[in-house]
Amino acid sequence: MSALETVAVAFWLMLPAYIPNNTAVVFGGGRPVDMGREWNGTRVLGDGKTWRGSASGVVAGFVLALFLNEALARGYVPEFLPTFAPLAALGLALGAILGDMGASFLKRRTGRERGAPFPGVDQLDFVVGAFAVTVPLAPGWFFDSFTPGVLAVVLVITPVLHVSTNFIAYKLGLKDEPW
């Protein structure tokens, strides 16, 4: 694979994990996942993690992966791009949402209010979550697709994409903070 192809594969493979949290921003609201419960005097997750946002995010990431498979099957995109095993599609989308939730849990435990930045964690929580869920669900697919080179590219491009898309979402009035 050329360097450019490696970057394209990394971006392609991560799309089902990139979309869920942005979808949650758009469709989120309503009942919080933690049902308002506290742990040691602080919310378990906070009002920023809702059932509607989480469910819409998982569905969007999963459905996107199916569309990407279809685009490949129809020859709309270059053949070197990989297909998504169904369990991989689920793992990437669900894991991204769970990773972001895990970060909120950590934020609340470390005294960070809802919306407070947590540099480093904010940019990679969903990547860690996506991998942590996809590896056990689809180990063969994962290690075939995410070669060491692809993994390295993911770790570099994800924070850059995260910072820029969140800035745009903030400017568009979709997000309250630019992170």
Which sign, positive or negative, has the C-alpha torsion 90, 92, 96, 98? positive
The neighbour count for residue 101, using CB atoms within 10 Å, is: 22
Q: How far is the CB of 137 from ligand CTP (least distance, A)?
A: 20
CB pairs under 8 A, 24+ apart, for 117-123?
117/177, 117/179, 122/162, 122/179, 123/158, 123/159, 123/162, 123/163
Q: How far is the CB of 103 from ligand CTP (least distance, A)?
A: 6
C-beta closer to K ion: residue 65 or 97: 97
C-beta closer to ligand CTP: residue 50 or 158: 50
* Nearest CA among 109, 139, 104 for reference residue 125: 104
Q: Point out which span in 94-102, 109-117, 148-156, 166-174 binds K ion (CB under 5 A).
A: 94-102
Instruction: Summarize as ranges the residues that interact with ligand CTP (CB under 6 A).
Output: 21, 24-25, 28-29, 46, 48-50, 53-54, 97, 100-101, 104, 107, 114-116, 175
Q: How far is the CB of 143 from ligand CTP (least distance, A)?
A: 28
C-beta closer to ligand CTP: residue 101 or 130: 101
List alpha helices for 28-145, DSSP H: 51-73, 86-109, 121-137, 139-145
C-beta closer to ligand CTP: residue 115 or 139: 115
> Which residues here bind K ion, judged by CB under 5 A?
100
